[in-house]
Amino acid sequence: MAPSFDTLSEQDLHEEEEEEIDFSDLKEQYEVKVEEGLDTFIVIDGLPVVPEDSRQKLVKFLLRKLNSVGSTSEDAVFMPVNDKKMTEGFAFVEYETPEMAVAAVKQLHGVPLDKKHIMAVNKLMDIERYGREGRIDEEYKPPVPEPFKEKEHLRSWMGDASARDQFALYRNDKVGVFWNNKTNPPENVVDRAHWTQLFVQWSPKGTFLASVHPQGVQLWGGESFSKQKQFPHPFVQLIEFSPLEGYLTTWSARPIQVEEGQPILTYEEDGKNIIIWDIETGKPLRSFVSHDLAAPADIEGSDVAPKKKVQWPAFKWSSDEKYVARMLQGQSLSIYELPNMNLLGRTSVKIEGAMDFEWSPATVAREGIKQYEQLLCFWTPEIGSNPARVGMMSVPSKEVVRTRNLFNVSDVKLHWQSQGAYVCVKVDRHSKSKKSMATNLEIFRVREKGVPVEVVDSLKDTVINFAWEPNGSRFVVIANGEAPTGAAVLPKTSVSFFAPEKKGYTAGNFKLVRTIEKKTSNGIYWSPKGRFVIVATVHSQTSFDMDFWDLDFEGEKIEAEKDLAANLQLMKTVEHYGVTDVDWDSTGRYVVSSASVWTHSMENGWNMHTFSGTTLSENPTEKFKQFLWRPRPATLLSKEEQKQVRKNLREYSKEFDEEDKYAVDIANTAVVETRKRVLSEWVAWLRREKELLAEEKEAFNLPEDADSPTAASDARPVVEDQGDSVVEEIVEEIIEETEEVIG
Amino acid sequence: MRPILLSGHERSLTQIKFNSDGDLLFSVSKDKIVCAWWSANGERLGTYNGHQGAVWTVDVSPNTILLATGSADNTVRLWNVKTGECVKVWEFSTAVKRVAFSPDGSRLLAVTEKRMGFNGTIAVLDINYGENLSAQATEPTLTIVCEESKATVAGWSFLGKYIIAGHEDGSVSQYDPKSGEQVENVQIHEFDSQITDIQFAPDRLSFITASKDKSAKLLSSRNLAILKTYISDTPLNTASVTPKKDFVILGGGQAAMDVTTTSARQGKFEARFYHRVFEDECGRVRGHFGPLNTIDVHPAGTAYASGGEDGYVRVHHFDKAYFDFMYEVEREQARK
């Protein structure tokens, strides 16, 4: 049976066999003593030693602290006095309820009373339990380190000799991981039934594969995809990895109910929706109640409350994973520091009306700024007479380093370029009458001095999709034209390509390269290495085309575009019926278009294409759900080494071409061999059967042709045995006959 | 390969059959009419009228003298091919889903439906070709009762040695036509995916089954061993083996009631050609705009016809490319 989360028992979590454990110590420790009922008592240590006269004063002072977490009274504080009429430096306190006592221990323990004194707060029960003679060994015994166990290499897939990529395939109830073999069928690594309950997800660098179950999240990794980590968030629905795979955010709509005996979750997590986990230790760092996004504007006349939308990703990570931030819509931004998850500067940043924010996906150095910083962008809508605003904040200083005011704003989307060099602010603006819409692109050049803003406003229509070229400075936008009446037809869209002008080292102004009108496209999928982009129509029953574009075409360039850093060329258009997703592999060599049963149930499956649009294979798969390329970590080669590789590419590729050819040859021979074998087997079977048939005919005393149609049977004439016979018939015809009498 | 379109039926086709010479094509449909066509040009020769319900099945005797049809009106009718007159009517308790002449034409089997408390049966009737064609036995010589899972299709093996039947549960049985005993029963298709068609290879040593489990299988008539499996992506209604060339033709398609949008692309209403030996798909023929219900191949292997849910019969005469097509290994063997 394949290992899966379902089949795990409690024992798996603890790893030990139950019989081997000696429970006597635990029994003693947790023995319930009914008669005691001392749960409401705490013991405070580390108090100043004062004479009896000032005891009253001290108690009063102490009470202020004690009442901050619960309620108690002066009578309930007992501070003993010794023979010298001095207090002993400790006190017993009785709270009204045991919960208060617990809270006091949690919150007051280790809290300084004044400069010299730090309170040590413990439950009286605990003092009883652990303080008793012999309960705790006085002598320190170092824990025995567990013997080292060799673990599977988590990046073993990177060592593949022919640098193939892996992908995960989720269809029906089965999840499999495969090697991509180009045109040949993929090679299976593992294939497990019921591996996940909701979906699977790779971590951003491809180290782990996460499966999602009602019990929580399970991470798998290594060569054999063995169990790596577990995050028992009950009824988890959404997960997100931090960019460097250090942390994991999990979300469930159901608030967590912590049950007794849960080894990982504590009362801290009770009633929370979101947990941020440390992947290394498998422990929760901090948990939160999720903020729901403001429900969409109420539709008039409807009594049903509009459904609340979940804000996801709830927590957004800075690129270096040092900060994670969450926005309370319309109010504030809370930035937490990792790894202790404390609120940066102890307070949230108040941003009135804050709608959305995005971290820079990479660490950028602004010109003239020396100290280390992470940048994030946010925007606020028009409030009263104040204009809408886009701001850029530097973290950890929490200073807003750049703002821009905007008017007539309906909506704003923030798009960072992958290196953080630009932020494109897509502003949907309405006219004064709010009847027509238009889109502005405001591009912040983050690396340049003072962060200048460039406005591209040549678009009259609303832009429905925008995407930067990864590691580049070009982008594609899709604008919506007028929707024709009758909802069945997709509105026509126009696809526009933008590129900067060529201007020395830095990128010049962004200019429109070309606009392709009358498309139905709605998705933009850049190759992760840039240069190539697929503009596709997805999630549609009527159109399903994918245009493969090259932005650095090596052929001749159109004269009008010669100043632009792009040479646009449509390489190919491929159709894939019902396509819902397009995924590039992380090397940008292959791209897979897929039609998932999650969206519709027609012709589900996935097709593999090369970057240039040549279809390598079509794989109709019943109940196909997910296709996910395994991401690769960043290259370890230095810039110089990469350059070297690029320079000698021809030599390298020769080697690989030969390998490919060899592999094809081998495969062809194998196919021919099997065919030969199959054919000879078939011929042999046929001969044997015919012999048997002849014998039987003899036994039945039937003539040799008993089965042929001449004997009133319906067996068809076996033409190939006789061959087509040519019947030649000579017809003599007398054309003329004359009679001559000679002589 | 331009098809000839035979549009003489008003409702979906249920079975079509070439005669042994291949010059005639018989078609039956749910519209109660039996048609005879010239296969060469698609001209209608005539109709055989008399059935009171949908006609499910047709077979022609090997000498093209008699035509047998089975119908939902619970009868099997025997017709004089030449004159079109009905020479005999056998009454059964339920609808007749399949009729088939034995290879020598001396016997006829009829598969009856399981309904209204009656078990499905396979009845064997003796056929007489004397001067008076009406002089036929009134009672079946043998009745095989299918108690477990009803038979949906049946046919005769080589020499009429076995009756081979396909069942509703996806299994295939072999019966002794003399005693009616079941010799063997093999679950060859997925459980509970009905076998929709059985057709024999010209030599009757092997036969092909089509099933709702989207696959077709070539089985040995002698021991029901699975020789080949042809996998498709749609439920199959019919399968046929081509003489002369080593192909099998499969037909099917999503049933109209199962499809939400009945676009032709979604329905997969194509005839699919597979290589009989290598099990590879070699080609498809489009044209029908409903599922293919029945396919038959010209006995000389020069043409095939398909009948669809759309009410049309399409007759395709193969062109030269079809006969020239050969796998490299086949060519090699042919040269030897």
Phi and psi, residue B79, nearest 5°: -120, 150
**Per-residue pLDDT, A142:** 85
CB-based contact B103 A715, cutoff 8 Å:
yes
Q: Does residue A71 sit at the B interface (CB-CB below 8 Å)? A: no
* Nearest C-alpha neighbor of B186 from the set B156, B140, B227, B235: B227
Residue in B19, B24, B39, B63 to test binding to A, most A beta-carbons within 10 Å: B63
- Among A62-76, A643-657, B93-107, name the most confident range: B93-107
Query: Which residues on neighbouring strands pair with residue A357, listed in sequence order?
Result: A378
Which residues from B are below 8 Å from A672, CB to CB? Answer: 328-329
For chain A, what percent of residues have pLDDT higher than 90? 22
Phi and psi, residue B321, nearest 5°: -55, -35
Nearest CB partner across the interface for A672, out of B61, B103, B329: B329
Integer Cα distance of B310 and B313 in angstroms: 9
**Per-residue pLDDT, A16:** 47
Distances (CA, A) of B40 to A251, A285, B27, B84, B318: 70, 81, 15, 20, 12
Q: Are B313 and B27 in contact (CB under 8 A)?
A: yes
Distances (CA, A) of B284 to A305, B270, B317: 53, 6, 15
pLDDT by residue (tens digit) across A229-285?
Answer: 899 888 999 999 999 999 999 998 888 887 766 677 777 778 888 999 999 888 888
Q: Are A400 and A380 in contact (CB under 8 A)?
A: no
Q: Which of A141-150, A286-295, A550-559, B319-328 has the least mean pLDDT?
A: A286-295
Q: Look at residue A726 and tell me whether its pLDDT is greater than 60.
A: yes
Q: Look at residue A17 and tell me whether its pLDDT is greater than 60.
A: no
Give me the residue spans of the domains in chain A.
38-131, 196-292, 318-457, 645-690
Which residues from B are below 8 Å from A682, CB to CB? Answer: 227, 277
CB-based contact B333 A700, cutoff 8 Å:
no
ipTM value of the model?
0.86
DSSP letters, A8-56, are --HHHHH-S-GGG---HHHHHHH---TTT--TTEEEEESPPP-BGGGHH
CATH of region A318-457, choose from 2.130.10.10, 3.30.565.10, 1.10.730.10, 3.30.70.1450: 2.130.10.10
pLDDT by residue (tens digit) across A417-427?
Answer: 998 889 999 98
Integer Cα distance of A186 and A188 in angstroms: 6
Which residues from B are below 8 Å from A577, CB to CB? Answer: 265
Q: Look at residue A706 and tell me whether its pLDDT is greater than 50.
A: no
**Per-residue pLDDT, A294:** 54
**Per-residue pLDDT, B69:** 95
Mean pLDDT (chain A) is 82
Which residues from A are below 8 Å from B301, CB to CB? Answer: 719
Spans in chain B with pLDDT lower than 50: 262, 264
Q: Does residue A679 sit at the B interface (CB-CB below 8 Å)? A: yes
CB-based contact B300 A700, cutoff 8 Å:
no
Q: Does residue A675 sit at the B interface (CB-CB below 8 Å)? A: yes
**Per-residue pLDDT, A146:** 84
Q: Look at residue A196 and tell me whether its pLDDT is greater than 60.
A: yes
Q: Which of A365-374, A398-407, B48-57 has the least mean pLDDT?
A: A365-374
pLDDT by residue (tens digit) across A41-56?
Answer: 888 888 888 888 888 8
pLDDT by residue (tens digit) across A219-243?
Answer: 999 888 998 989 988 899 999 999 9
CB-based contact B159 A603, cutoff 8 Å:
no
pTM: 0.68
**Per-residue pLDDT, A458:** 64
Q: Does residue B148 sit at the A interface (CB-CB below 8 Å)? A: no
Cis ω before A243 (30° cut-off from 0): no
Q: What is the CATH number of the domain that holds B89?
A: 2.130.10.10
Nearest CB partner across the interface for B327, out of A603, A620, A675: A675
- Provide CATH code, domain A38-131: 3.30.70.330
Nearest CB partner across the interface for A693, out of B63, B205, B300: B205
Question: In which domain, by residue range, is B278 found?
Answer: 3-335
**Per-residue pLDDT, A417:** 92
Chain B residue closest to A721 (CA)? B244
The count of structural domains within chain B is 1
Query: Span A508-530, mean pLDDT?
Result: 88
First to last CA, chain B: 31
Looking at per-residue confidence, does B85 or A304 come out higher? Answer: B85
Instruction: Give residue A104's pLDDT band: very low, low, confident or very high (50, 70, 90).
Output: confident
Query: Span A401-412, mean pLDDT?
Result: 88
Q: Which of residues 69-128 of B touch A (CB under 8 A)?
A: 101, 103-105
pLDDT by residue (tens digit) across A560-603?
Answer: 777 788 888 899 999 888 899 999 998 899 999 999 998 888 88
Which residues from A are below 8 Å from B203, CB to CB? Answer: 689-690, 693, 715, 718
Q: Look at residue A710 and tell me whether its pLDDT is greater than 50.
A: no
Which residues from B are below 8 Å from A704, CB to CB? Answer: none
**Per-residue pLDDT, B241:** 94
Residue in A716, A719, A721 to test binding to B, most B beta-carbons within 10 Å: A716
Integer Cα distance of A535 and A574 in angstroms: 11
